[in-house]
Amino acid sequence: MSNKKRQAAGSGKRRSQHAGDRPQDLNIVSESFTDREKLTIAGFTVVALWLVWLLSPVLMPFLVAAGLAYLGDPIVDRMEKIKLSRGVSVGIVYALLTIFGLLVLIVIVPLLERQVGYIISKLPEWVSWIETVAIPAVQERFGLAGASFDMGSVTAIIKENWSEAGGIAAGLLKYVSKSGLQAVGLVANLLIIPIAAFYLLRDWDIMIARIHELVPKRVEPNVVKLARESDEMLSGFLRGQFIVMVALSLVYVIGLWIAGVKLALLIGLFAGLMSFVPYLGVVAGVISASAAILVQTQDPTSLIWVFAVFGVGQLLESMFLTPVFVGDRIGLHPVLVIFAVMAGGQLFGFVGVLLALPASAIIAVIARHVHEGYQHSSMYARTQSGSVIETPDGMSAGQTKKNLSS
């Protein structure tokens, strides 16, 4: 055999070896079904979406319960590893969730209501300070003596919008009080959530196993792989990022309270819960806390304590909270989360908001596999002349690019 033939044979062998490493999970899943089966799956998907839209008022408590069960299942699994039964583990987790919910209702909600009332009572005083002290100081500092700022118009707009908001709230309360059926339905939905969460958490592993049994055997490995990646992405956001948000909220609330900010609870919770978008929580928190402590103390040196609180929070997040609880797992992009929540709410209301994160995790995993498959396809590597660019070891350009980037 000549050298050219031996080289061609070796190149073909290497191509066949590398072809098995290409991400073909989605192609295998797609090619494993006939056209009739694909149409059937598409039809079931359309019907399922239609039922979600139709039954959205009824599904809300069950989806909330499913989310609580999803968050609590890893804790129950760890308890089972230390020789506790499933029922006892579920009871402990359920009791902890119940205590947490009661604390929120009994402690945090009244405190937030009190701080909102404080804002309303102090609003005229703050507006007067801004108009008589803050604005003249800024105009003098930056040479804007000729500029005018009508705080009266701003105050009128705030009062008008607040009156409208109060009228809406009063009208809603009046409607609910008159409609006994609506009130009963709301209470029933709230009672369904803990009951459904208990049973879903108890039978979570059984339900997952039953769903696994329904997957066709010819596509089972690839479907399981996609499901695990979706679960990893979703859990990385819901479980890991949720712990980070709660921890940052506690840090901000305690720190601002020590700094003397009277709106520490309101601002700290807001900044902590918004921290799933990088830098948004800290920027919003610094701005709101700085404004609150300035109108409260009228002393610019008090801003040092605000900056110190959020600086410590950022150090804790970057050096401890995120590495420990989120790690280097591929998570959901913040922009994708915001878009998914808004799109889900627009399409299916509050149920769509609840379904937005699981759906976006699945779509993100599928999109990543489609992107990898495209980069390993002949269409991506084909030149204008129609030939496929290959490296000396037989890999296409897409494979070479991926290996170099890794």
Residue 332 has what pLDDT?
67
> What pLDDT sits at residue 227?
86
Q: What is the pLDDT of residue 99?
A: 87
Q: Which pLDDT score is estimated for 180? A: 56
Task: Tell me the C-alpha distance between 207 and 216, whole Å.
Answer: 17
Q: How far apart are CA 27 and CA 373, in angstroms?
A: 9
pLDDT score at 151: 58
**CB-neighbour burial class of residue 72 (10 A; exposed 0-12, middle 13-18, buried 19+):** buried
Confidence (pLDDT) at 181: 59
Instruction: Specify the pLDDT at position 14.
Output: 42
Q: Do residues 107 and 203 touch, judged by C-beta distance below 8 A?
A: no
Tokens 């992107």 -> residue: 371
Classify residue 33 by its DSSP letter.
Answer: S
The model's pLDDT over 308-329, given as tens digits with 9 standing for 90+, comes to 999 999 999 888 887 877 765 5
pLDDT of res. 315: 92
Alpha-helical (H) ranges within 179-241 are 180-202, 204-214, 220-235
pLDDT value at residue 153 = 62
| Contacts (Cβ under 8 Å, ≥6 apart) of 224 | 212, 215
pLDDT at residue number 9: 45
DSSP-derived 3-state class of residue 84: coil
* Ranges of residues in the chain whose predicted pLDDT is under 70: 1-33, 143-184, 327-332, 381-406
Tens-place pLDDT, residues 97-133: 888 888 888 888 788 888 888 888 877 777 777 777 7
Which pLDDT score is estimated for 251? 94
Q: What is the pLDDT of residue 307?
A: 94
pLDDT of residue 5: 44
